[in-house]
Amino acid sequence: MTLKNQRMKFPQVALVALSCLAHGQSQVPMVRIGTVIDGVTDRKNGLRAAVVNAAQQIMGDQVAVSFPAEKQLAGDWTLQTSSRYIRTLLADEEVDVVLVLGVLGAS
């Protein structure tokens, strides 16, 4: 192997090594949160927004927090619907944490 071939291999190996290190550092654990609220009101939506902001601030850049829109459920002010939504999110493999906001859901 000539010196020229060795020099050409070093940048390739370094690039692969740096790529692996960067990939490892960019892999932040993802937590997907679903929420259930009793019903739709401006006040409850404000509470949900406050919870989303707090979760993102607390986790910082150590954990990626996701609140998928389709996992944010609002009931119709009945215990039956809130309970059904909670069971739905608990059974959902795409949800890591279920957050219940409201009196009915907490029952």
Tens-digit pLDDT profile for residues 4-60: 444 444 333 333 333 333 344 458 899 999 999 998 876 656 777 888 888 888 888
Q: State the architecture of 28-101 in CATH terms.
A: 3-Layer(aba) Sandwich (3.40)
Give the whole-angstrom CA distance, residue 22 versus residue 77.
48
pTM for the structure as a whole: 0.68
Other Cβ atoms less than 10 A from the Cβ of 21: the count is: 10
CA torsion, points 97, 51, 88, 37, in degrees to nearest 10?
A: 160
* Confidence bin at 62 (pLDDT 50/70/90): confident
98, burial (CB in 10 Å: exposed 0-12, middle 13-18, buried 19+): buried
